[in-house]
Structures are given as structure tokens and as C-alpha cells.
Structure 1
Amino acid sequence: MKALILGLALLAGTAAADEAKVSRPGQYSGYSPALYTERVTSSFYFKTRDGVRLAMDVHRPAVNGKPVEQAFPVVWQHSVARRFATDQKFSGVAQMPLLTQYGYVVVEVDRRGAGASFGSRRGYNDRTEARDAYEITEWLARQPWSTGKVGVYGCSNTGDAAMHAVSLMPPSLKAVFAGCFSWSKYDGFMRGGILANWGSGVDRTFEDDLKNLPVDGDADRTLLRQAAEDHRTNTPLASLWRGMPYRDSWSDLVGTRFWTEGSSGTYRAALARSGVAFYIFGGWEDDFRREGLVAMANLASNPRKYVIGPWQHCRNPGFDLLVEAHRFYDHWLKGVDNGVMQEPTYTYSTQGAAEAPRWQQSSQWPPAASRLQALHLRVPGQGAGLRLDARAETKQAASVKLGVATPIACPAGWSPLAPTCLQSDNGLRFEGEALAADVEITGHPLLRLWVSSTEPDPHVFAYLEDVDAQGRATMVTDGRLKASLRAVKTPPYDFLGLPWTRSLEEDHQPLQPGVPVELKFDLLPLSHVFRAGHHWRLTVTGSDPRDRRPVQQGAQLTVHADVQHPSALQLPFATAPPGGPRVSP
């Protein structure tokens, strides 16, 4: 492992020996000066192979209001709403048209069935969209204002679209800058077999579609209205997801097993053969953060980089993500020797430390210094508190019951790590000891939990919390599992050594009332320092505010923790854990 503490200089920069040339995460100068102060945008319809018209914006460098008649590299996004500027100040993806000042053409294309484009959306990142992306990429490469080298970018659903654009291996596509996407659609939207995300994807009403941006020459919005009429037959995404409870579920709405078709990981062999370079980004407050790390593991033969910070979904306040895209594209589309690919592969922030966020780098994930050590769940007895302890429980029988309650309400758009809606008061709280020194946890926590239930298919949620000396808690990460889909199988791709629940229909195995079963699942990755005087806490509940399934009234969950049922939380210690040496699982 090669680790480097970057400190605050990573974001703000410090005086360098050669101030004219700086290239490091979040900072870039002296390699690619701003050449143009203007850009011009033209919009029109691009006709696909089957005649469907897609709305396209082309942003070009300009001088005196006219486009520069010169060939530039092209970067583009397969969008759902061109020039969508919400949170532009905090989104590197929304800022991408600013690259025109450095000699790029930036293009945004509404996907079929979205924005001002005609056609109907069959699925969400399906093979139809991938074929569209191939056509668009090669068309862009042939234009007189293009050098023939093309990059693609996106975040969330457009990050998925960027990954799918590679899957048919367009020859002109050289580099992808994408974040907050799902490597596996099932694991992204049905993590642990549970549909429990805030959003189901972009579904808009006819009235919403009429508010989209028309192309040039459609001042009366006649074409926009016609496109919106096409969208009436779009596949409803919430219905699509709900109709596929298993990884191998068939969807009559789209006529395939869509979790497979819609996953970029399905086409991992083609992504590897493409030779395309990837820069993947994520946020510690994003539900998809594990997905980007799994993608990185499966793209090991491609040139690749990764950055993750203390950010929510597709937002990066305090860090110039546009700079990272600029450095990356300069290297791969312009041949600029700026050292971006000589840096360690992974750049990540660590929360909780006195200087948080503290930035670090590593050549691998998890960092080589991280080692798993088990903290056993202990149920000392009547009236005693639930504990997390490095010593294994020796009692012959121990368990604790939880009446499953309606989750504590959270505001719309809640970040999973927001302090306003902790579920601690709704669950069983297993407390660790107060720490004598700071301890860094970096990697993927694993939970082995023995449970029984009064219902055949409980949903089990687990939250790792940081509790300070005054008892104030902050949720650090979470995990979940649908108990009937607990069967752990060998994954068909690199899953970072984590327990992979296959979740096929044949794996569905309901619980028998009162009979304990073992659940093994991961909590989302983290890098966090638990400060001296703080302690960690594991909260286990039977409900979560994101869960779309109503709480089963009167349901009771029992957690077992004894020698026959050794429930334990494994934490990835990046510094020596208290109470003994680090051990691997």
C-alpha cells in the first residue's frame, strides 16, 4: 500500500516551487491555460438509425461571438435534461461546459424519451440507449470541429449512461469521467434485496416535459410538445423496480430480465477490451458508493482513477471536481503530460479527524493497512446494556427482542448520514467502550447477525454510529438485508471479498417463527476517525425511512448473541485497534 496524507493542501494548495505548473487532486495550473472567454451554443435534433430524433446541445469555444473554426476534443453527456443547472456551483458535472475555455467542445444529448428528445424510454440505461451512444460518439468524432478523440461524462443516471456508452466499444471513445452510478442495477437499487432508496429514477409528467428546453428553431414549442407526447409511453421506473424483486426477475414491462440488461457490470468484458480510461468518483454520503469501488475492482486492466469525498449524491462542495475532469481529459484526449495517471489510484477523504476532512491516497482499495477485527455483540443479561466487545461471548444462550416500529421520519432528500433522523431510538443499540486514542476505520465493515422473527421475511437494517463523550451520535454508515434472501454465493465478478447475496428467486427462503438464521452482509464503505473519548455503536432495526415496504404491525425481531449464535461486527481498522493486535477474518 502506498499512502500519502495530502492534508488541506489537496484542496486549497500551498506555495509550490514552480507555481506555474501544479497538477494534483483538486488543483491544476500551468499545463492547460484558458484560451477562450466565450462559448456559443447551438441546439438541434440528431436523427438516430431508427429515425428517432434526439435533442443535442453543442457548446463550442468562441471569439467575438463566433465559434472557433478549429478541431477540439469532444466530451459529452447522455442526459435527461440539457443544461440542467441545479446545484451547478457544487457539481463538477453541471460545470462541464466550462471546459470550452480550455479548448474542448462539450455536448449534451437528451436520451430518447427524455428532455426534448423524441421516442419512448423502454428501460433505464438499456441496450437501445447504448446503441444511441455508439452512434452519437462516432458522429461527434467525424465533425469538422472534432479532433476525433471523444470522452463521455455523467453522474447518477448519466453516470450509468456513460458506462453503458463504453459497452459497445465505439472506436473514438477514449476516456470516461463518471460517478454515483450502479455497477449492478440490482445492488444499486435493491441493496440487500430491499428497495430502499429515496429515488426511483427520472419520471416526469407530461406537464413537466413541456417545461424542458426546446431546440433552436422551435420557439413555439411545437416539436417539444410532440416529443412530450412520445414520452407518455415511457416505462414507469418505480413500477419497473417493484416488479423485479429478484436478481433474475423477468419484467413484462420491458420484455427482459432487466436487472441484467441494465447493469454496466454485465458488459465488463467489453469494458475491459475497450481499453478506455476511467475516472470514477463518489461521495461518502451517497448510497451508491460501494458500486463505484466494485467497478474499479473489475476494471483493473483499464487505466483508472478514483476519488471520493464527504459529499452527497452528485455534489462536491469544497472540492474542484471540474479540475479533475480537466486533468484527466487533458491527459487522454490531448496528450498532456500532467502526471495525473502517475498518482496513486485512489484518493479519499477521512472524516472525523481533528483536521477533517483529511485527504489520503492509496494504490489499492481497501488500503493495505486496513485489517478486519471482530467486535462481538454481547447481551450481558437482564437490566444490563448491550455491548460490542472484542472478547467472544461465552454464555450458552443470550438474545434480545425488538418490537419493529415505524421508522423515525426524515425530510425529503435525506442524506443517509444526516443527524436529523437517526434511527437509534428505534432499535437495539450495542455500545463500544470509550476510546483512549483516535482510531481510523477505513474499508468495508461486515456484519454477522443471528436473528429470528415472528414474520417470515423481516427487513434488517444496521447502522454504525460515532457517539461523542456527551452522548451525541452521528451515523457513519449503514447496511441492510432482506432475511429471506440471505443465501451467500460466489459472485460472478470481483465483489471486493464481501458477502454476495445472489438473490435469485430460487434463493428465497422464508424464516420459521422463532428459529434463528445467520445473516451476513456488509455496511457501505467508509473512512472515519473515531476520536479519543468517543465510542462506536451498532444500532439494529427492523425498519428504515427509505424502505418502500410498510412496517409489519406487531412484528418482533430477536437478535441472538451467544456461543451457538456468534453475532459480530467486523471493522476494518487502519490504525491499531484497542485491546489487541489486528487480525484478518
Structure 2
Amino acid sequence: MKGFRNLTGAVVALASVAMPVAAVADGYPDVVRSSIYVPVRDGTKLAVNIYRPARGTTAAQERLPVIFSFTPYRARFRDKANGGGDGKVVELALDDRLAMRSLIRAGYVVATADIRGKGASFGHRRGFQDRTEAYDGYDLVEWLARQPFSTGKVGMIGCSYLGGSTFHTTSTTPPSLKAVFIGASDLDKYAFVRRGGIPAQFNTRPDEPADVDLASVPLDADIDGAMLRAAVAEHAANTPMAPLWYGMPYRDSVSAFTGNQFWNEVGTFNYLDRIRKAGIATYFWSNWQDEPTAQALISAANMPGSKFLAGPGSHCVPPPGFDFTGEVTRYFDLHLKGVAYGMESAPRATYWLEGLDGKGGYVRSNLLPGEGAKPVSWFLGSGRSGTARSANDAVLGKAPAGRGVDRFTVNYDLPDPEYFAFWAQPMDANGLSYTTPALTAPMKLVGFPVARLSVSADKTDANVFVYLDQVDATGKAEVVAFGRLALSHRKEAKAPYDTMGLPWHSGLKADVSPVRPGQVVRVNIDMTPVSRVVPAGARLRLTVAGADPRQRNLKDIRVTPAPIITVHRGGATASRLDLPVNN
């Protein structure tokens, strides 16, 4: 029987946590849809789609709880690119990637809405996930709670931007919002979008043309599409996304678009106390091969009683081999219907452990991944030749090596990645690499690796990227974690939230300072979290580089001549890699 492992290693049978038949029965096999413009507090009309459980063409007559999702990606549109002609109608609520179709069958009204300035909604975006948008979410939650089809209890769900709009709406604490399921979102947007002072791919892509929003399906009352066209015309005043983020290099930068310290406004960590006091139940989800997972994990650490889920795979992909729709439904059943189905006693965390029993499997634990991990240090060494030149030469060893230095010139001529390369690829050909001997026994890593390096550069600043690879016996490598930090952003400070013991770089303008060419500085770079058993015979490799192909502005920030970065080994501040080893 398939199962989960708990902390003690015993198997928890899947059947013991599966949804009972009554909860998954197709009680409402059909859907009755309607759409309407709902004005929020400043009068802006937002496009709302309502999906009521039904049998045939008759909607359920009893009051039901509501699940709400708030999207910038069009809640209902014609996919002209793939369908040809008018295209197939794509509806967020009828897709089960976020369990919405299953929730309708299980007796929930599902509502989706376009955020202001996107899709069929009127208005324009002042910023992204700002307080205006957050309070739009508040107004829609309370509107839904007042409708005759509603019990007055509302839940929210979303992943990626939709996870962010869920989190930000939660921060306004609507009285009717009882539970949220937040996927792949951030707690600290500065630490995510400009991690280590370096903007990368997330949130820096070009804005979409008007034709994208014009492909939205007009709302029921908008027979000739005139309201849709009028709404999309207002979107021309939207704040451009990439220039907004690129234009604020420091945590306390004042945005030219919003006129305030916008990073502070959109940092959900500022509102944690408010969410805790409101008693809104929280569930955080992401997948291990997805950069927001670090933020999701830290979010869970800052919300006592929250649940956490991490599956294998990439961005917002339902975890394979796991009853995702059942988990979502049980969660909302508990908090919106008062029906437990075992959810109230389930362990806090469920996560995929790559390599478990040689293959991989899910672990259920009352500890979050990384809690209880013991940092084990591996030190950068020179290998046989005395000066590191390649992955076959430089080593990671269990003891500090003699003093020495390794240098490389930053390579900006990197291959273009796919448009959304959610995960990094090995970079050993573009920097310095340090590799362990083949492991003589399996090594269980769960938590955050941290690269603690002594470095210098021949410029007043340089970007440092680090990658942790697992290399099998044939030499095939995969990136299992990565991080980044500009030397000028090296100063650390006490974070305004629990970082699970990780270094926190303030990013404040007063704390950002150049280095003198040749000055040796210490940098502590936390990497994305890992959850895997590295098998015996495999090796671990740390690569240090100066650029990453996923930087969308790589051509703009190119320095000529390219910086030369030096890694310093040995001595009192020996460069090392701390790995989160679990027993």
C-alpha cells in the first residue's frame, strides 16, 4: 500500500488520510455559471464569475460556503492562440489544478474575479499586490459573504500571483474570510524579487499587450462587448511591472510610480500580527523545484498552526502521487463546514523527500522541513594542483584546507533559457566548482544550505551566484539548490520576522556599500531549500558564478571588462558550504 513516512519512519497508510467517500462523492456533478460587475469601495467595477454547484441546470438551493480566487491572468477567456477562430473558452474555476472543479462538486460555490486593470475588470494597477488590490479582495470577500447563495463563510485559494492576491487579501482580515490556501507566494517581496539585491526572472517579464485582456469573455450583461473594451482601455494606465521592480534597488527606495517605499507596502510580513489575531487558518504550498518555496516555508514558520505542503516538480504543479484535491477539500471542509475528516489531527507538514527508500516519497511531520536539521560544514579546497580550475580538480572537504585563492572571470555570454525557466541549470562551465568525494553512505538533506564565502573582486561590486548540484556516478548533474547576493548587499541585520535561522540582508540604502577592489569580504548566501536523500556513490558540487542566464536584464547590467571574482580558501574565515543534515 502506498503511504507516507512520519518522523519515526513508520508508514502512515494512505487510506488513513484519504478523503471519506461522502466527501468526494459527485453530489453536484454540474455547474451553473453567472457573471457580474461588482463595484468596490472606490467605485471601480471588477469582473466576477460565480459557479454554483448544480444538478442538471438547477443550482443548489441551500446556502453554501464560497471559495474565491483573484487573478491577473483572466478568469474566463478565449484561447485564440490554441483554439483557432474564436478559440476555446478557458475558465479558471473549471480547472482542477487548484481543485476548484472538485470543490464545486463537493458543495462549494466558487467565485473568480479579475483584479483591477486586468482581464475584464475596469480600473488600472497602481502597483502590484498593493494595498488597493488587497482591499479590493476584502470588498469582494465581504460581497460574496452577503449573497443569498452563501453561508457567510469564505475561503480563498491561489498559486503564484493568485497565491499573492490571496495572501494580501488575508492581510486585510475580512471578517468573513475563514481559511486560505496559499501557493508559491512570498512573505517578503524585496527578499524574493530582488533577492540579495539582484533582480532575476520573477516579476520582471514584459507587460502583456491589450489584445490579451481583450480575449476575455464579456460578462453576461455585456452583450456586445462594449464594457469589456471600455475596461481594457483603462488598463493603458497600468504601472509597468518590470520598471517598477527595477526602479527600486533598495528596500527603502521610493518608487517613482507609487510615490512611497513600495517594497514595504507589499511585504506581507508587515501584517502577520493582524492575520494571527484574526484567526484566519493558513495553508502554504509550493514545490521543491520552484524558487518561491523558500518564502512559502518561511511563511509557514511565521504562522503558528499553519499547514505546509511541498511536492516534487515545478511551479504550481499539483504534487504527483498525492491527493491534492482531497487535501484542499478536506482543509476547507474543516474550516468552512466544520467537518474534520481527520484534517484537525493531521501532522503540520507534508513534503516530498527525493530518494526516500531509493526512489522518493512523502513525509508527514509536525516539524517543518529544516526544523531540527544540523548544519554540517564542507570546506572549499584546492584539489591536487593547488589552484582550483575545474570540477575535476577543486574539492569540498570535511576539514579546512590550507590558504589559497581561486579566480574566475564573470561570463555574460550565457545561453538564453526558456521564457520561464523556473529552475536553474548546472553552471559549472561558467565559474568555479568544488566537489565532494563520492559519498560512502546516503546523506539526508532537509532544509536550507548556506554558502559562507570569503571573496573579493577587482570592481567595486559584483554579483555572486551559488549552485548546489547532485552529481551521479556517470557525471550527470542536477541543480538541487541555488542562491545569489551582490557584494554591496552583504550587510546582515535582524529580520522583522522569523527567518528559520537564515542570514537576512537588510537591503537598506544606508547598509548597501561598495567594496574596494581586492577587499576580502565575508558573504553568507542562503540557498533554496532541499529535501532529498543523496545516495551513496553520488557527489555534491558547489559552483560559484557571477551571472545567471535567468537574469532578464543581463545585457543591461553587463560590465566591460567583466569582473574577476576571487574565492579565498583556508584560514580563520575559510570558505565553506553548510548543509542541513538530518538523522
After superposition, residues 45-444 of structure 1 pair within 5 angstroms as 45-80=37-72, 81-83=74-76, 92-200=96-204, 203-300=207-304, 303-316=305-318, 318=320, 319-353=322-356, 355-380=358-383, 381-382=385-386, 385-393=393-401, 395=402, 397-406=403-412, 408-417=414-423, 421-444=425-448
Per-residue CA shift, 1:63-102, capped at 9, x if unaligned?
2312122100001011121047989899755441331111
CA gap of 1:558–1:245, structure 2 versus 1, over 3 A, is same
Per-residue CA shift, 1:462-509, capped at 9, x if unaligned?
000011111111111101101100001111111111000001011111
CA gap of 1:111–1:449, structure 2 versus 1, over 3 A, is same
Give distance in 1, aligned partners of 2:423 and 2:41: 45
Q: Give the AA of the match of 1:329.
A: F
Q: Give the AA of the match of 2:409.
A: G
CA gap of 1:110–1:96, structure 2 versus 1, over 3 A, is same
Would you say 1:39 and 2:31 are equivalent positions? Answer: yes
Instruction: Please report how far the alpha carbon of residue 209 of structure 1 lies from its aligned counterpart in structure 2 after TM superposition.
Output: 1.7
Per-residue CA shift, 1:184-219, capped at 9, x if unaligned?
111121111110125436832122221122211323
* Deviant stretches of 4+, over 6 Å: 84-91
Q: Give the AA of the match of 1:552.
A: V
CA gap of 1:321–1:200, structure 2 versus 1, over 3 A, is farther
Residue pair 2:291, 2:423 contacting (<8 A) in 1 also: no
Give distance in 2, aligned partners of 1:286 and 1:383: 34
Give distance in 2, aligned partners of 1:460 and 1:114: 36
Give distance in 2, aligned partners of 1:67 and 1:87: 19
Corresponding residue to 2:17 among 16, 23, 35: 23
CA gap of 1:507–1:188, structure 2 versus 1, over 3 A, is same
Residue pair 1:176, 1:276 contacting (<8 A) in 2 also: yes
Per-residue CA shift, 1:296-320, capped at 9, x if unaligned?
11111xx311100112111125234
Per-residue CA shift, 1:504-557, capped at 9, x if unaligned?
011111111111111012111110121111110001101101222433233211
Moved more, 75-84 or 117-126: 75-84
Q: Give the AA of the match of 1:126.
A: D
Would you say 1:552 and 2:552 are equivalent positions? Answer: no
Moved more, 311-320 or 159-168: 311-320
Task: Give secondary structure in 2 for the equivalent of 1:510.
Answer: coil
Give distance in 1, aligned partners of 2:98 and 2:190: 27
Q: What percent identity do the matched residue pairs reach?
A: 37
Q: Give the AA of the match of 1:324.
A: E
Q: Give the AA of the match of 1:408.
A: L
Residue pair 1:402, 1:556 contacting (<8 A) in 2 also: yes
Give distance in 2, aligned partners of 1:87 and 1:352: 37
Q: Give the AA of the match of 1:68.
A: A
| Structure 2 equivalent of residue 572 of structure 1 | 580
Q: Give the AA of the match of 2:130.
A: D
Task: Give secondary structure in 1 for the equivalent of 2:344.
Answer: coil
Per-residue CA shift, 1:244-287, capped at 9, x if unaligned?
01111110201211111112111111111110001110011111
Give distance in 1, aligned partners of 2:438 and 2:297: 31
Moved more, 357-366 or 377-386: 377-386
CA gap of 1:88–1:108, structure 2 versus 1, over 3 A, is closer
Instruction: Please report how far the alpha carbon of residue 2 of structure 1 lies from its aligned counterpart in structure 2 after TM superposition.
Output: 6.3
After superposition, residues 439-458 of structure 1 pair within 5 angstroms as 439-458=443-462
Give distance in 2, aligned partners of 1:202 and 1:100: 35
Give distance in 1, aligned partners of 2:8 and 2:230: 55
Give distance in 1, aligned partners of 2:20 and 2:94: 18
Per-residue CA shift, 1:417-440, capped at 9, x if unaligned?
46xx42111110101010112111
Residue pair 1:440, 1:573 contacting (<8 A) in 2 also: yes
Instruction: Please report how far the alpha carbon of residue 147 of structure 1 lies from its aligned counterpart in structure 2 after TM superposition.
Output: 0.6
Instruction: Please report how far the alpha carbon of residue 362 of structure 1 lies from its aligned counterpart in structure 2 after TM superposition.
Output: 1.8
Task: Give secondary structure in 1 for the equivalent of 2:102.
Answer: helix
Residue pair 1:52, 1:119 contacting (<8 A) in 2 also: yes
Q: Give the AA of the match of 2:111.
A: V
Q: Give the AA of the match of 2:75.
A: R
Give distance in 2, aligned partners of 1:194 and 1:416: 16
Q: Give the AA of the match of 2:368.
A: W
TM-score (norm. length: structure 2) = 0.91
Give distance in 1, aligned partners of 2:26 and 2:136: 32
Count of matched residue positions in the alignment of Structure 1 and Structure 2: 557
Instruction: Please report how far the alpha carbon of residue 337 of structure 1 lies from its aligned counterpart in structure 2 after TM superposition.
Output: 2.0
Consecutive unaligned residues of structure 2, counting only runs of 5 or more, are 78-88
Residue pair 2:463, 2:484 contacting (<8 A) in 1 also: yes
Task: Give secondary structure in 2 for the equivalent of 1:476.
Answer: strand
Corresponding residue to 2:523 among 516, 519, 522: 519
Task: Give secondary structure in 1 for the equivalent of 2:132.
Answer: helix
Residue pair 2:159, 2:316 contacting (<8 A) in 1 also: yes
Q: Give the AA of the match of 1:402.
A: F
Residue pair 1:407, 1:544 contacting (<8 A) in 2 also: no
| Structure 1 equivalent of residue 545 of structure 2 | 541
CA gap of 1:220–1:291, structure 2 versus 1, over 3 A, is same
Task: Give secondary structure in 1 for the equivalent of 2:567.
Answer: strand
CA-atom RMSD, angstroms?
2.3
Q: Give the AA of the match of 2:345.
A: Q
Give distance in 2, aligned partners of 1:398 and 1:43: 67
Residue pair 2:203, 2:241 contacting (<8 A) in 1 also: no
Per-residue CA shift, 1:213-251, capped at 9, x if unaligned?
221132321111101110000000101000001111110
Instruction: Please report how far the alpha carbon of residue 143 of structure 1 lies from its aligned counterpart in structure 2 after TM superposition.
Output: 1.0
Residue pair 1:543, 1:551 contacting (<8 A) in 2 also: no
Task: Give secondary structure in 2 for the equivalent of 1:488.
Answer: coil
Consecutive unaligned residues of structure 1, counting only runs of 5 or more, are 17-21, 576-585
Task: Give secondary structure in 1 for the equivalent of 2:31.
Answer: strand
Instruction: Please report how far the alpha carbon of residue 400 of structure 1 lies from its aligned counterpart in structure 2 after TM superposition.
Output: 0.5
Give distance in 1, aligned partners of 2:109 and 2:477: 47
Moved more, 44-53 or 196-205: 196-205
Residue pair 1:38, 1:62 contacting (<8 A) in 2 also: yes
Instruction: Please report how far the alpha carbon of residue 456 of structure 1 lies from its aligned counterpart in structure 2 after TM superposition.
Output: 1.3
Task: Give secondary structure in 2 for the equivalent of 1:40.
Answer: strand
Residue pair 1:28, 1:327 contacting (<8 A) in 2 also: no
Residue pair 2:287, 2:311 contacting (<8 A) in 1 also: yes
Task: Give secondary structure in 2 for the equivalent of 1:182.
Answer: coil
Per-residue CA shift, 1:97-156, capped at 9, x if unaligned?
331111100000111111100001111111111211111111111111101111011111
Per-residue CA shift, 1:374-412, capped at 9, x if unaligned?
11111244366211111122x3x3101101112532432
Task: Give secondary structure in 1 for the equivalent of 2:155.
Answer: strand
Residue pair 2:371, 2:447 contacting (<8 A) in 1 also: no
